Structure 1
């Protein structure tokens, strides 16, 4: 039996604007998503903001009803049998919500154990196991308001595992967490897979997905654009070189100039404090250093290196291809997801 099975999932939202001439806008957040997750698998769902990741997860964990399509968790339909699904899943989301700051970690877990219906005779042993699993043993009597972001996230994971779910949804668990705490979180997530828990993970950190996931689906524009192992996805850009440039003040027009260069296969910029990392994907062996730097004329340039492609580069290539469509320009695919109707 599969842990998760999604078939042609769709979700639309309706909004209404105007008074004298009202208009109804129908937005397709998810447009026919299908995938399967085996029991004990650590499955990654990656995509840019607004791609449909969280909407998909909320349909799978019964927080949203699909507009059409079907989804099953351990054989139970999320629409017709939501109670059975909820008994078998845990949901952990990034951020500070979901805990009581003025209670200790121990009191938080006791409270949620009652809500989850954990038998009183099992609570003490289960809470002790989880505190040890997430590395909070010895700190459980401290108030949560004094916890760091990473400690809070580990407590979130412990909370989500109280009732021993077979499937755990982790929605960006390491968001805003420092590198040391993120490493500890990755270790905790890896231990879950070792214990046989099926995990569906969303994250914006490609190194995290590359390290943890057995398979990855990339969603953009509300549809699955690629699905496979991390190595399989990286093979999509194995015939490319990556030119990474440290820049200060690169604007959209600079990136557009680079995209127009012959031999350039993709361009992305990532903000890193006061500077940017501009990643330029080029055809393997193409010597484009001088032309790329000329396109950035007028801005301050720091370190320039050429390196092998990573999962992040494969992800950028997949998302950019989905946005460009048939050379219609960035953002066209996203624009097609909304339709305006005169009421």
Structure 2
């Protein structure tokens, strides 16, 4: 199978210097990415997931040439990003999270034609590609309105259009549906699947586990600068056969309750979340022996004077895999 992106033994070490006693310089090293290797096959959607501070953003920046690796190599369509940056980066269309990379004082059409010109298209080709992409993204009716008047979802579509302008074989989408309403997010996911159908490769990062499960052919989970799991979503979930999950809704919760639950035999992790809409708490407990565990859990909750609203025993999800491997939820 042809490889679109290859990362081989990539490391990124940041060195900070601090003056001490006026002259002495104290150096500290932080290993943001620690010897990671992975391949992304041509025509697949590859997910890169990790909690905040895991090394995901640093990896993305090295893939797009924004940072140089301390050691190792990254190739895009056979071209080394560090040694042949111009050739390698011609093969990537990029949408970075939180990146205001389009001009709000221009129209959608003007934005895309401008970026097409930067990619070397002549005026006729730029107009053709822009019209094609506006139609594809269902922005034709709003094409000549200023981007600053657009909704968040429409602005994200224009940013995606910018990534599609060069018709690159690899498209990197860094949290493309972040902040979008459900319908806009659904529309964008359909576009991502269409990109795959064209034979192009998609590298996707997301904070939505359901999105990763639905879209990705394979997923790499990075934590502490290392890739700790890499497989299909289905195989990752199968790896949780020994670990089960219980979700318990509570009216109130304390740190002491979470700590005590974590100490119960066969409990692997306890994650608590507050549901703003329903004004209650949800405990997700990963364990290896639910038959004997549930009574101990309920006794502990009772002793901490919390009221149980609902209890569900659930099949492992991709979120459960992530929590089991990293000890934290994706949004932490």
TM > 0.5 fold call: yes
Query: 1:222 deviation in Å?
Result: 0.2
Instruction: List per-residue Cα deviations over 1:172-228 (Å, max 9, x = no partner).
Output: 111122222211111111111011110100111110000000000000000000000
More displaced, 53-62 or 265-274? 265-274
1: CA distance, partners of 2:205 / 2:222: 11
The residue number in structure 2 matching 1:4 is 5
2: CA distance, partners of 1:77 / 1:271: 45
Q: 1:293 to 1:285 in 2, by over 3 A?
A: closer
What are structure 2's unaligned runs of at least 5 residues? none
> 8 Å contact 2:243–2:288 — kept in the other structure?
yes
> 8 Å contact 2:93–2:168 — kept in the other structure?
yes
Q: 1:106 to 1:271 in 2, by over 3 A?
A: farther
Q: What's the RMSD between the two structures over aligned residues? A: 2.1
1: CA distance, partners of 2:260 / 2:158: 47
The residue number in structure 2 matching 1:266 is 269
1:303 aligns with 2:306: no
Pairing partner for 1:28 from 28, 31, 34: 31
Query: 1:128 deviation in Å?
Result: 1.8
> 8 Å contact 2:49–2:220 — kept in the other structure?
yes
Query: 1:17 deviation in Å?
Result: 2.8
What secondary structure does 1:168 align onto? strand
More displaced, 241-250 or 192-201? 241-250
Correspondence 1:46-195 to 2 at 5 A: 46-95=49-98, 97-195=100-198
Aligned residues: 322
What secondary structure does 2:73 align onto? strand
What are structure 1's unaligned runs of at least 5 residues? 322-343
2: CA distance, partners of 1:22 / 1:250: 47
Correspondence 1:138-287 to 2 at 5 A: 138-247=141-250, 250-273=253-276, 275-283=280-288, 285-287=290-292
TM-score, with length taken from structure 1: 0.88
Q: 1:314 to 1:71 in 2, by over 3 A?
A: same
The residue number in structure 2 matching 1:339 is none
Instruction: List per-residue Cα deviations over 1:117-158 (Å, max 9, x = no partner).
Output: 223221222112212222322121222112121111121111
More displaced, 262-271 or 309-318? 262-271
The residue number in structure 2 matching 1:312 is 319
2: CA distance, partners of 1:85 / 1:271: 44
1: CA distance, partners of 2:307 / 2:28: 43
TM-score, with length taken from structure 2: 0.90
2: CA distance, partners of 1:13 / 1:218: 22
Instruction: List per-residue Cα deviations over 1:2-32 (Å, max 9, x = no partner).
Output: 1011111000111123441542211000000
